[in-house]
Structures are given as structure tokens and as C-alpha cells.
Chains A and B, each alone.
Chain A
């Protein structure tokens, strides 16, 4: 990690963070990392011990992470409204120390909290003497998996200096994309603008007030933004680039958002907690075709499924067998189409709905429904059905109240006009609840019955 701090020292006056109206320069970041280092030693937090950090982005949270990495600890970042319950996380990762930030994420209370784990993978990793990073898969299908990374290896991807930008760390602290964002911005000596919450209004306000240039976000957030039209109330002229990833982007949303932000470059990102975030370039025609790869990454397609080999891959799962094959390839479970060196991501095969033996991707149906009047958003998922195995269910949130029968007729007609008949939802439910998780990803789950 020393190279990163040395880089910070080259521009000590430059703004590193704006957090709750307070500016922190790169020089101050170095001072804070040193101060946390002193505290870590004073508390006798030993190298190799695990420290769970509970909070959201702030200069202090990031500086504590860097100081712990310097001290070669295993860092387990968790956000307060994490999709993973704290007890679930602790049961998988264990911990030695618990660092809880107060609301505002400036003051931290570090206490000793020994939750032992007898984990062979972790024990072997600790022998390397490298700092660790534990993140959790969201566990939308099954039990969350603890993913162990070598922190140095994660950071190494950012040794090459890129253009400094002002950006919002939109993805959370406990998401690989979030850690990726914070390292990408700071390693290029960019300016991190934190937000208190990820609502569309709060994000727009931060972009306007701090002339944010880069917004790394999710398709779900962009769908919400464009249907709420909140962006029209703010001056977002500073935005140069919006990146989107973590789930499949509906073409309807991309078309609308490109129209609303004609001078902004849109870039699809692609990454997985297990292999890291690949470099990507969207085809400039406004389509969802994307070139992915970059130094340290190899891709191949087997039976329409994307496989990745990565120099930045995880060490392994803490609570599941490795999913890398003998040659180090990882099955992404994402079905793709290929056109030359461009890919189009169709969706997770685990999200597939099987209607009487016919396969359906939720996103293609969501795309049709999203283009209808009065529809704010939609989540499509499969529900078990004795006659067909599974049926397609669409959970819709509406701008104005509408009779569910009339809505279903509209939806089915539109789907039948655009897609094969078996893809038209058999069931339509109007939802007043949010269709997103705290990771700003769509929740595609049948309600528990």
C-alpha cells in the first residue's frame, strides 16, 4: 500500500474528499492514516487479525481501511443497511476487532470482539503476510458467500495513473464495485464527494454542488432517476461520464438516459466480486454491446456463458468450494451474445425463468414493460407453478393508480407484440414497495408464501 500513500504525497494540497461539507486534502489523508496507524499499535491490533468496519464512505473510514491494510490486517467492511445481516457476516468471517463508526462516519469506536473461525483458507492466507479484504455476495439466490481478497492485489490494479476526476462513491463500502471506485478515484488523485444517502435527489444535489464529473451507478438507479425526472430540477452540466454495472441495463432506460444527457459518455462496467472489475468500453452506438477485458483479464465464451481469468481474482470463498476450474477460469453464470470482440450480457442463468421448458430472461420482459405509460419500474421473476413448472410474474410500480386487470392486459399485449407468447407475464402484481435492494439492484424474488 506504500505506493498509494507515496502518490498521495505528490499532491498534498489537492482535495481528496468532500464529506458533509468538509474538505480533506491528500496531505490530511496521509496524516489521518498515520494517526490511525498509531492508534492501531497503541491498541495492540496485531497483523493478521480481522477487523470489521461498520460505516459508509468518509475520509475517516477510508483512512482506517488504509491504515489497517498497512498493518496487514484482514478488513471486513460492512455498510449499515447492508443486504447481509451483521450476524450472518460475522458467522462466516469471524473477527477480532469491531470498528463501528457513528452516524456521520467521522468518530469511530474500536472494541475487541473475538469471534473465532476455524477457516483453513484464511489461515493459509495469513501466512502470506498480506492484508486481506472480505466482501460478501448478496446471496439473492441462497446463502451469502464470504469472498476473501488479497488487498494488495486488489489495489495493484490502480498503480497506473489515470486522469483525476471528481466522483461520487455510489456503490457501498461492502460491495466490490464500491471498493473499486474508491481506489480508482484516490489512486488517480481525484476528488471523492460522499453522499449521506443514495436517493436520486441527494445524488443530483451533490453533482450540482460539487461539479461531479463521474457517477458510477446501477441501471436500477438510472431507471429511477429517469422516471422521476428529478434530474430536470438540477444543473448537472458538470457530468462527463456515467458508468453503470452490477446488473443488466434495460435498453429502454439507456435510450432515455442518453437522450436526457446528450453530452455525457455512458460506459457499461462489468465485474464480479470473485474476479474484480474489468476494463470496459461501450460501443458508441448507444447499444448494450460492450468490449471487456484489459490488462490482467482474459475472457472466453463456452456454450454462450462468459468465463473470466483474472490476475486480480479472489483468494477464495470462506464458506464455499472454489468455483475456479483447474486452469483458473471462473464461470460468471452470465449468458452473453458475441459480436467480434463485443459482448452483450443477457443475464444471469440463475435468474432464468423456466416456463414449461422454455427459458426466459427477466430483463427482456422488463425492457418491454418499462417502455409502457404509467410504469415507473418493474421486476420480473419466476414463481413455481404446478401446470408449467414456473410462470412469469411482473411486479410493477406505477406513477398513477391503475386497475390491475387493465394493466395486465396492456402488459401482455405489449409483450406478445414484442416477444414469444410464453414470455408474457401470467401474473401481474402492483407493488407499492421499493423494487431495489440497498445495493441499488433489482430484487427479483417471489414473495415468500
Chain B
């Protein structure tokens, strides 16, 4: 089954919520589609990003019933990095799940 955009956003926000649970009040990551995930504007370091991606991968894989990789060559060779923001990640997951369907 192909998850909806809302479902994918919910998965990403859940991953960020989990991340926030381990961070103190001053370094909470906003649950917003424009939240930067990677790069200068992001509050996430590479370790936090990898942890969030892993959560999203597992939840999306569960949702579609097959393993989905968000860090394979295809993901890393996108013109706009899927990890730029919540919005780009959501768009990439949506694209990937439609390709698989």
C-alpha cells in the first residue's frame, strides 16, 4: 500500500518527536515542514540525522511491507538532497513509494 503524504509526514514528525525526547528544552527540533534536517541551517548533527533517517526508513518499510532505503545511491544522487528539510524528505519518500507501487 502506498502511504499518503500525510502518513509520511506523520512518520517523519514521529521520528523528530523521538529525537526531541532525548534533547533538552533549548535544542528541540520544530515539527514543521520547513525544518532543516541537514546543512548549516539544521539543528541536527550527522548522528542525529542518521538516527532520524533510520526511524523513518523502518516506519516506511513497515507501512509499505518491504525494505526501503533512504540512503542508497539513488537517494544520495538526487539533485536536491532529500535531507534538506522535512518537506524534501517527505517528497522523496512519496516519490520512492510510488515508484515501488
Contacts and interface: CB of A to CB of B under 8 A. Distances in A.
Interface of A: 355-356, 385-388, 391, 404-405, 408-409, 412-413, 416, 421-422, 424, 426-427, 449
Given A405-B14, A405-B18, A412 B50 contact: no
The B interface is mostly helix, strand or loop, or mixed, namely helix
Given A356-B47, A387-B49, A426-B50, 13 more contacts: A385-B50, A391-B54, A408-B18, A408-B55, A409-B21, A412-B22, A413-B22, A416-B22, A421-B47, A422-B47, A424-B47, A427-B51, A449-B67
A409 B22 CA distance: 7
A386 B51 CA distance: 13
Contact of A426 (B22, B54, B72): B54
A366 to B, nearest CB: 18
B96 interface: no
B58 interface: yes
Contacts, number: 44
B42 interface: no
Given A405-B14, A413-B22, A388 B58 contact: no
A387 B51 contact: no
A21 B55 CA distance: 53
B68 to A, nearest CB: 12
Interface of B: 14, 18, 21-22, 46-47, 49-51, 54-55, 58, 67, 71-72, 76
The A interface is mostly helix, strand or loop, or mixed, namely mixed
A386 B49 CA distance: 13
9 contacts: A388-B47, A391-B50, A405-B18, A408-B55, A409-B18, A413-B22, A421-B47, A426-B50, A426-B51
B27 to A, nearest CB: 12
A356 B46 contact: yes
B88 to A, nearest CB: 16
Contacts of A412: 22, 51
Contact of B71 (A385, A405, A408, A421): A385
A422 B22 CA distance: 14
Contacts of B67: 449
Contacts of A426: 47, 50-51, 54
Contacts of B72: 386
Contacts of B22: 409, 412-413, 416
